[in-house]
Amino acid sequence: MAGLGGNARVLVFERMDPTDRSIEWLREKGLDLTLGKRMWDPGFQRYSEDQIIAAAKGYDAAMGASGAQFSRRVIESLPELRFISKFGMGYDSIDVAAATERGILVSNTPDDFNLLAVAEHTIASMLALKKQLLVWTPGFMRNGGWRGDVFARYLAGNTVGIIGLGRIGRAVAERLAGWRAEIIAYDPFVEDAPPNVSLVDLPSLLERSDIVTLHATPSAGNRHIIDRAALARMKPSALLINTGRASLVDYAALREVLATRRIGGAALDVYETEPPDPDDPLFRAENVLATPHSAAWTFETLESMGWHGARNLWAMISGEGAADVVNPEARSRR
């Protein structure tokens, strides 16, 4: 299929680059693009399976983020599809095994801007909870509040446990290096840790950590790695940070322990359903910092990922240059 060039029809079901310059670049290459939603428009909604099947019917390629699930049913309903260019590092919204069977190449964007943004957001979340920024707010001041019997805490001297020591987990560890925190990590696929990080088993990490932060790549093996049993091992004062994936946490169990103050608090950027239910009790909890899957939502990151995804798409379609293909074995199925 490489060499399609201007004969390729592409559905950009989500637009990532706020400048759209990467879109124009693809058009200049001769691709026939149909543009879908802009990710920064208000009222974000995901595509249902039926909607993405209807929208992508007859297209050679699709490009977008996680607003559509390319399940086996979707993939098998799109016989012309040969390329999926996914914005972002995670690709759990795509059934890669099904894509591979059909000879569909899938690419992602392991982008430095993305990991920097998520690592910074993770550190900011730790500090916001430690420094009581959920309590000491303009609203608190408008009501005459002044310090009171709530006390901030140091990050220095804390033990921070990182679950998942990939690129983002390591970026978090690197940024914590100057904060005089003890950094431990659990990752069954890593043998060598950075000099300032000690590898431990999961029970030890949960029991020792003052802050647990999640950066594991989602898989069937780590689904709900933070479940009731894991939460029960954590210190009553411990904080949980999830800027990774919702599937890593049993959110029903988390709601219970937060409501009963069994742990100190949580900072959450990802949810079981996105956008989440506005009436979720998590958003009324005084010990929860909630952000709208915005850890990587910086102008620089979106622009960079937009270009990265566009270049991946062109490389897969034309054969010119290299793409970050996650299933190269699909080439043999064509």
At residue 3, does pLDDT exceed 60? no
At residue 162, does pLDDT exceed 80? yes
Domain ranges of the chain: 5-111+299-333, 135-286
- Asked whether the domain spanning 135-286 has the same topology as the one spanning 5-111+299-333, the reply is yes
Q: Which of 245, 303, 308, 311 is catalytic?
A: 245
CATH class of the region 5-111+299-333? alpha beta
Per-residue pLDDT of 258-314, as tens digits, reads 999 999 999 999 999 998 999 999 999 999 999 999 999 999 999 999 999 999 999
Q: Which of 73, 167, 293, 331 is catalytic?
A: 293
Answer yes or no: 274 catalytic.
yes
What pLDDT is recorded for position 255?
A: 97
Per-residue pLDDT of 70-81, as tens digits, reads 999 999 999 999
Answer yes or no: 293 catalytic.
yes
Assigned token pair, 214: 């999640």
Residue with the two structure tokens 């103050």: 261
Q: Are 287 and 237 in contact (CB under 8 A)?
A: no
How confident is residue 1, by pLDDT bands cut at 50, 70 and 90?
very low
Q: What is the Cα–Cα distance from 311 to 9, expressed in whole angstroms?
A: 16
Answer yes or no: 175 catalytic.
no
Task: Say what angle helices 112-130 and 167-176 make with each other, to 10 degrees.
Answer: 50
Assigned token pair, 271: 């949810």
CATH fold label, 135-286: Rossmann fold (3.40.50)
Q: Which of 120, 207, 274, 320 is catalytic?
A: 274
Mean pLDDT of all residues in 232-242? 98
What pLDDT is recorded for position 4?
A: 60
Residue with the two structure tokens 């005459």: 144
Closest by Cα among 54, 53, 52, 12 to 33: 12
- What Rg do the C-alpha atoms of the chain give, in angstroms? 21
Residue with the two structure tokens 């607003």: 67
